Amino acid sequence: MRPRSSLRISFAAFAMCLGSACQTETPAAQPKTEEGAEIGLMGTIPIYWGEAGDFGEVLSGGSETHWARARIEARHPLRPLDALDEESLASLDFLMLAQPRVLSPAENVALDNWVRGGGKVLLFADPMLTGESRFAIGDRRRPQDVILLSPILARWGLELKFDDTASPEYRLVPTAGAPIPVNLPGTLFERDGQGECTIAADNLLADCVVGRGRAVIVADAAVLDLHGAHPAAPAALDWLVASAFDAR
């Protein structure tokens, strides 16, 4: 296991080193969205409840809230999900998976059927999560360090690769909209032309047509870091959410 401390750098130092590269003077153009539409949310990154030791801490207000929740809910209400099945997905058009746990075979089928039926999913799949957590390695309350979603990605015609010789370093990946902060990202590739995916942003992003629906996959989750969020993260998250759930 990698030591967490070695994967973090001072964001103040980062800003000083990169200067204007860390700033976005003109906000990126946002795709048109169906504002107000509910987004189902599932994942090990604690966006909805915050980083809490137990539910009592949530009720008492003692948990550290995640900045991304208010950011998303300014445009879309969130509905937390514990599992994916036909019933939980039936009333949703949009779904966000933030470094989800391993999906069961039944959940993979339910998710695939839902997307093919017209659902839109934004999936953050980080092969080596670098964000800090108050919980130790091995604690089930800690975000999942390594994503394990090969079956559903293969079903959509994708393969996620990771260079385990890479060194941890925050950098900005340019996109058609806002630049996305990443740290030890994966790379996405089409599997022998099996899917209908557009790969972009240095293989960080995949935009896939799946039946009547759509899946946008991000091969990193540093944009969702709770502690010491990157200065570019809020604008990047806004753009990703708008891009995944636009009204086209």
CATH classification for the domain delimited by 34-244, as one of 3.40.50, 3.30.70, 1.10.287, 1.20.58: 3.40.50
- In the predicted structure, residue 11 carries a pLDDT above the cut 70: no
Q: Cβ(197)–Cβ(207) under 8 Å? A: yes
Q: Which amino acid is at 170?
A: Y
- In the predicted structure, residue 21 carries a pLDDT above the cut 60: no
What would the two tokens of residue 8 be? 């973090």
Report pTM.
0.81
pLDDT digit string, tens, across residues 128-182: 887 665 555 665 666 778 899 999 999 999 999 999 888 888 999 999 999 999 9
- Residue 195 pLDDT: 73
In the chain, what is the straight-line distance between the N-terminal and C-terminal CA atoms, in Å? 43
Q: Are strands 158-161 and 187-190 parallel, antiparallel or unpaired?
A: antiparallel
What would the two tokens of residue 57 be? 């801490």
Question: 169-183: buried (b, 16+ CB within 10 Å) or exposed (e) per residue?
Answer: ebebbebebbbbbbb
Q: How far is C-alpha 156 from the chain's CA centre?
A: 17
Task: Work out the percent of the chain whose per-residue pLDDT is above 90.
Answer: 63
Going by C-alpha positions, the residue among 173, 158, 161 that lies closest to residue 121 is 158
- What is the mean pLDDT of the segment spanning 36-64? 72
- Residue 41 pLDDT: 98
- In the predicted structure, residue 2 carries a pLDDT above the cut 50: no
Return all residues near 73 (Cβ < 8 A) that are at least 6 apart: none
Q: Cβ(51)–Cβ(11) under 8 Å? A: no
- Residue 31 pLDDT: 44
- Residue 19 pLDDT: 33
